[in-house]
């Protein structure tokens, strides 16, 4: 079950895709990671999906990653008389903490933290920016605003406060319960919504650290402009990052989102952290069996830019064509990666290695594999760090990530170019070389006469010690000829 591409596909599960048959079909079509969206569905729904994925994993004998996406704080207006009201441009409109039903002149907003952050001149967006208000005066429990862009507003529509750092945690009580459940159920990645500052990621880390034995990784979703101001330190505290373009596009002008996307991808590449591009990638496929040309181009751009993974949301969760959407994404990625310009762009965007032994070895492994025309790079890893370093180099060869740890094997399913393999820890060089050659051959990456480049850390089984590089040749009957190069 090897993929013929490097960029990974994340598929969101939902009403359209939760039966064992549907989940297996999505995996076979190309999904490498399954996202559980905790904004929807009960714990029982998610539990059944996790059980189904783990059963599928046994059947296909491939590690599959589960991404639990926390809802985060949702700022919403309250209820209106008759469920809706029409706001006219130029009219005055009041937001306050009163319980009375909303009208065209005022509405309840039970979020004191929003009022605390407002000042005259602040902008408020309602319903993903469809309505725009400007604050004229405000206090601890009210804001008098002017409607700039009017329209209809209905119960519980979302509120955004662009350009303002809100004094709220990204983890609500619901998120804390969901996080505990996800960790208990063995999710591999936690997606953290509404990240504004590095301390938000640190808070999630502290919480996760309280669950004994949990090594779940944190993927920070960048959906607030304030997060971009703290980009480097948020990346540093996170294990991976998501460009959440839907939310980002509400608070930032749409024309800046492609630029921010490139900037975030580049910063993640520099840090050697996986980066995911998400939201509305093949949006028209929610109701249509084929995407628009612009959408195909959008997915292609994310791949050319060097994303580790691209994500489908409503397309697979509630759309009419979930399998077709994954198949289309798979086809677009393969097409891009076979384009000679893709390799030119990838080579040009390669960064200098850090001044450490492990980065030097990883960079050398890519160079050696390129020079020899090797069939694969095989990394032996206990924590995933050797594999992440190999992926940061964006080699032309596939990366076989060999680990004894099922959690690490699953987590690496999100990482660019990586094919995860479960195997017992090796104890000697001879065993390492034999296993590397065996897996390269048995998994369909190498044939007799091919060479494989191997990186690992000695002593074996210790994390973060990438310090050896070997080249081996695949020979008949599983014998292999070693070329020393450590």
Q: What is the DSSP string of 99-155?
A: -SPB-SSEEE---HHHHHH--TT-EEEETTTTEEEEEEEE-SSEEEEEEEE-EEEET
Query: For domain 357-484, which CATH number applies: 1.10.3720.10, 3.40.1380.20, 1.10.1040.10, 3.30.1180.20?
Result: 3.40.1380.20
Residues 188 and 67: beta-carbon distance below 8 Å: yes
Whether residue 35 lies in the annotated active site: yes
Relative to beta strand 399-403, strand 189-192 is: unpaired
CATH code, 8-72+170-339: 3.20.20.60
- Of the candidates 3, 5, 35, 389, the residue annotated as catalytic is 35
Of 47, 76, 331, 350, the catalytic one is 76
Q: Give CA–CA dist 134/65, Å, rounded.
A: 43
Q: For residues 342 and 346, what is the distance between their CA atoms, to the nearest angstrom?
A: 6
CA distance 26 to 32: 9
CB contact at 8 A, 391 and 407: no
138 vs 127: CA distance, rounded Å:
21
Give the bridge partners for 472, in sequence order: 452, 482
d(CA 382, CA 258): 36
Tens of pLDDT along the chain (486 residues) come to 689 999 999 999 999 999 999 999 999 999 999 999 999 999 999 999 999 999 999 999 999 999 999 999 999 999 999 999 999 999 999 999 999 999 999 999 999 999 999 999 999 999 989 999 999 999 999 999 999 999 999 999 999 998 888 999 999 999 999 999 999 999 999 999 999 999 999 999 999 988 878 899 999 999 988 899 999 999 999 999 999 998 898 988 889 999 999 999 999 999 999 999 999 999 999 999 999 999 999 999 999 999 999 999 999 999 999 999 999 999 999 999 999 999 999 998 888 888 888 889 999 999 999 999 999 999 999 999 999 999 999 999 999 999 999 999 999 999 999 999 999 999 899 999 999 999 999 999 999 999 999 999 888 877 767 889 999 999 876 455 555 544
Name the β-bridge partners of 312: 11
CB 371 within 8 A of CB 396: no
Q: Which two tokens stand for residue 450?
A: 């091919």
- Rounded to two decimals, the pTM is 0.94
Lookup: tokens for 379: 């990394």
State the catalytic residue, choosing from 49, 221, 273, 470: 221
Say if CB 97 and CB 89 are below 8 A apart.
no
User: So what's the pLDDT on residue 71?
Assistant: 95
Active site residue 389: no
Smallest Cα–Cα separation from 39: which of 16, 12, 66? 12
Choosing from 52, 279, 316, 465, the catalytic residue is 279
The dotted CATH code for 81-160 is 2.40.33.10
> How much is the pLDDT for 246?
86
Joined tokens for residue 9: 């596909």
Which whole-number Å values give the CA distances from 481 to 376, 382, 437, in the listed order? 16, 26, 10
Secondary structure letter of residue 286 according to DSSP: G
- d(CA 233, CA 237) in angstroms, rounded, equals 6
**So where are the chain's domains?**
8-72+170-339, 81-160, 357-484
| Helix, strand, coil shares, percent, the chain, to 5 | 40, 25, 35
Q: What is the pLDDT of residue 485?
A: 46
Q: Which residues pair with 451 in a beta bridge?
A: 473
Q: What gap in Å lies between CA 183 and CA 186, rounded to an integer?
A: 5
The answer to whether the CB of 278 falls within 8 A of the CB of 191 is: no
Q: Is residue 76 among the annotated active site residues?
A: yes
Q: Rounded to an integer, what distance in angstroms lies between the CA atom of residue 151 and that of residue 88? A: 7
Helix, strand or coil for residue 192? strand
């Amino acid at each position: 079950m090897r993929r013929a591409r490097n960029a990974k596909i994340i598929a969101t599960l939902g009403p359209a895709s939760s039966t064992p048959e549907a989940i297996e079909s999505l995996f076979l079509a190309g999904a490498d990671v399954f996202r559980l969206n905790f904004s929807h569905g009960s714990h029982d729904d998610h539990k059944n999906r996790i059980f189904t994925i783990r059963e599928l994993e046994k059947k296909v004998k491939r590690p599959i990653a589960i991404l639990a996406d926390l809802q985060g704080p949702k700022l919403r207006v309250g209820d209106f008389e008759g469920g809706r009201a029409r706001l006219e441009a130029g009219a005055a409109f009041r937001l306050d903490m009163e319980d009375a039903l909303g009208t065209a002149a005022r509405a309840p907003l039970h979020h004191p933290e929003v009022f605390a952050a407002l000042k005259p001149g602040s902008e408020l967006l309602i319903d993903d920016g469809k309505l725009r208000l400007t604050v004229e005066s405000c206090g601890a429990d009210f804001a008098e605003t002017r409607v700039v862009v009017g329209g209809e507003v209905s119960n519980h529509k979302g509120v955004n406060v662009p350009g303002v750092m809100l004094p709220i945690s990204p983890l609500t009580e619901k998120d804390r319960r969901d996080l505990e459940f996800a960790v208990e159920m063995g999710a591999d990645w936690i997606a953290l919504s509404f990240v504004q500052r590095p301390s938000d990621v640190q808070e999630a880390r502290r919480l996760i650290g309280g669950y004994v034995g949990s090594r779940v990784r944190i993927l920070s979703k960048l959906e607030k402009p304030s997060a971009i101001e703290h980009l480097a330190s948020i990346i540093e505290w996170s294990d991976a990052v998501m460009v959440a373009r839907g939310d980002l596009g509400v608070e930032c002008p749409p024309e800046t989102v492609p630029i921010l996307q490139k900037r975030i991808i580049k910063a993640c590449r520099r840090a050697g952290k996986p980066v995911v591009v998400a939201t509305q990638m093949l949006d028209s496929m929610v109701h249509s069996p084929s995407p628009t040309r612009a959408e195909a181009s959008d997915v292609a751009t994310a791949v050319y830019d060097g994303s580790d993974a691209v994500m489908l949301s409503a397309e697979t969760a509630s759309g009419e064509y979930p399998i077709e959407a994954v198949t289309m994404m798979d086809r677009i990625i393969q097409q891009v990666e076979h384009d000679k310009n893709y390799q030119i762009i990838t080579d040009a965007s390669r960064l200098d290695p850090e001044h450490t032994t492990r980065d030097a070895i990883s960079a050398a492994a890519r160079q050696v594999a390129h020079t020899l025309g090797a069939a694969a790079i095989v990394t032996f890893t206990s924590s995933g760090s050797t594999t992440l370093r190999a992926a940061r180099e964006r080699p032309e060869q596939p990366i076989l990530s060999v680990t004894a740890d099922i959690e690490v094997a699953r987590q690496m399913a999100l990482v660019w170019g990586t094919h995860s393999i479960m195997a017992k820890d090796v104890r000697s060089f001879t065993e390492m070389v034999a296993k590397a050659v065996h897996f390269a051959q048995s998994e369909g990456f190498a044939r007799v006469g091919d060479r494989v480049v191997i990186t690992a850390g000695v002593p074996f089984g210790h994390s973060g010690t990438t310090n050896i590089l070997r080249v081996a040749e695949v020979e008949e009957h599983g014998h292999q000829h070693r070329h020393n190069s450590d």
